[in-house]
Amino acid sequence: MLNYALLFLIIAIIAAVFGFGGVAGTAASIAKVLFFIFLVLMVISLFSHVFKT
């Protein structure tokens, strides 16, 4: 999941450099959403590991 977030971030940066504003904005928003999903899943996994009985 984090790999996809980083991939879309790189696509957004490359698209912004070449002047494709729409593509860069879309890729950046996808990267942001995937990153936050990754963070939520990581926290859930951490809590489940800590409170494992």
Its pTM stands at 0.73
Residue 53's pLDDT is 61
The number of helices, as runs of H, and strands, as runs of E, in the chain is 2, 0
> Which pLDDT score, from 0 to 100, does residue 38 have?
92
Range of the domain at 19: 2-50
State the total domains in the chain: 1
Say how far apart CA 37 and CA 30 lie, in whole Å: 11
Q: Which residue ranges in the chain fall short of pLDDT 70?
A: 1, 53
Q: Give the Cβ contact number of residue 52 at 10 Å.
A: 6
